[in-house]
Amino acid sequence: MSEAEELLSTPAEWDLPPERHRHFKDVLMQQIDHDTAVTPRRSRFLRPAVLVPLASAALTGALLVTLSVDGRGPATRSAPSATTAGASVTLNRIATAAMASDTVPVRDDQFVYVRTLERENTGSFTGPVRLGALHTEERWTSQDPGPLRVTGWIKASGKDAIMPDQMIPIESTDPVPVGVAHPTYQWLASLPTDPDALLARLREEAGPVEGESRDQAVFSLIGDLIGGTVMPPANAAAFYKAAAKLPGVREIPDAVDAAGRHGIAITLDDTGFATRHEWIFDKKTLALLGSRFYVTDPDRGITTETLSGTSAVMETAVVGRKGEVPARAAAR
């Protein structure tokens, strides 16, 4: 049975919630699933991606914790080694560093390019976690205000990459206007820079799925936007200050991204799911390094928190067209 056939044979009760720090594989198989009659669902990692059919979500089920039919995950999880005292202070320090960045405005005719390193769970839905090989993923996000059916393109390469070296459109059945599903530089620049006003806006925009707390939906949405876009410094600072106001944010003094770089992590413990995500920042520059994703699922024999995916943001740039890479990426 081919990968596509396996996807399409996935039973409906595997309608899993978003794990937004791994959106890539969801959208990677959009073309395969496009003509199927499977009900669309939200993408993971970047909510900006598309409405992805259930079969696409099944592709990376190992990155997602298996949920019960009512959409809720197992309640059991081990407490992370973290400190609560410094999270707000650290996020405000990160906001100050973001405010000092020299970001150049992005035009509507350009693309935001993001290159990441990824390690993902190659195991099955029902079995233990098996982290695959480190591989590269590149994404080109259109800044055209649209509405657009194709909001960007993605390409993966290396061992354990799915559909390696192919340019795959990030596509939706219906045209997508600018907003959380299509976050252009200009749209991000239009958001409030007051943290309280921004947090109120995000609470409206971030629709939690069943069993997910609204705070976790907001935390995930912020992670999506800071990890996959380019935005004005004042807006970036506002996102971090808004995150500092979320109840339950915690600091982890030492965390390692997919590239092996050590940093400070910010997480939210009360997710409503049997999953937990971390944003990892450089200890000196406070720049975003990457993320980690953990699961706890006693039904699969995962009784303590287990690393199920990790990424590293290696380069973010602005390019003139899809498929174009910055000089540093081309020379690697």
* pLDDT for residue 21 is more than 70: no
Q: How confident is the model at residue 124 (pLDDT cuts 50, 70, 90)?
A: confident
Cα–Cα distance list, 22 to 88, 98, 119, 311 (Å): 25, 24, 10, 9
Q: Give the pLDDT mean for 225-232.
A: 95
pLDDT at 210: 77
Rg of the chain over Cα atoms, rounded to whole angstroms, equals 18
pLDDT at 274: 74
* pLDDT for residue 49 is more than 70: no
* pLDDT for residue 318 is more than 50: yes
Chain mean pLDDT for the chain: 78
Q: Give the pLDDT mean for 85-108.
A: 94
* pLDDT for residue 155 is more than 90: yes
Alpha helices in 206-302 (DSSP H): 214-228, 233-244
pLDDT at 207: 83
Q: What's the DSSP call for residue 194? A: S
pLDDT at 24: 36
Q: Give the pLDDT mean for 181-198.
A: 98
Q: Which of 299, 1, 329 is nearest to 155 (CA)?
A: 329
Q: Which residues, 6 or more positions from 320, have their beta carbon under 8 angstroms from its beta carbon?
A: 109, 110, 111
Cβ contact 316:114 at 8 Å? yes
* pLDDT for residue 22 is more than 70: no
Q: How confident is the model at residue 66 (pLDDT cuts 50, 70, 90)?
A: very low
Q: Measured between alpha carbons, how far is 332 from 319 in angstroms, rounded to an integer?
A: 17
Token pair 């707000």 is found at 88
Q: How confident is the model at residue 270 (pLDDT cuts 50, 70, 90)?
A: low
pLDDT at 271: 60
Q: Which of 152, 159, 155, 150 is nearest to 167 (CA)?
A: 155
**Half-sphere exposure in the Cβ direction for 277 (13 Å, CA):** 28
Q: Give the pLDDT mean for 108-126.
A: 93
Q: Give the pLDDT mean for 250-256.
A: 96
The β-bridge partners of 317 are: 113
Q: How confident is the model at residue 175 (pLDDT cuts 50, 70, 90)?
A: very high
Cβ contact 161:134 at 8 Å? no
What is the dihedral angle through the alpha carbons of 307, 135, 39, 15, rounded to the nearest 10 degrees?
-10
Whole-model pTM? 0.77
Q: Measured between alpha carbons, how far is 282 from 304 in angstroms, rounded to an integer?
A: 27
* pLDDT for residue 224 is more than 70: yes
pLDDT at 272: 64
Cα–Cα distance list, 256 to 130, 291, 310, 312 (Å): 18, 9, 9, 9
Q: How confident is the model at residue 81 (pLDDT cuts 50, 70, 90)?
A: very low
Q: Give the pLDDT mean for 121-146.
A: 92
pLDDT at 297: 84
Q: Measured between alpha carbons, how far is 283 from 278 in angstroms, rounded to an integer?
A: 15
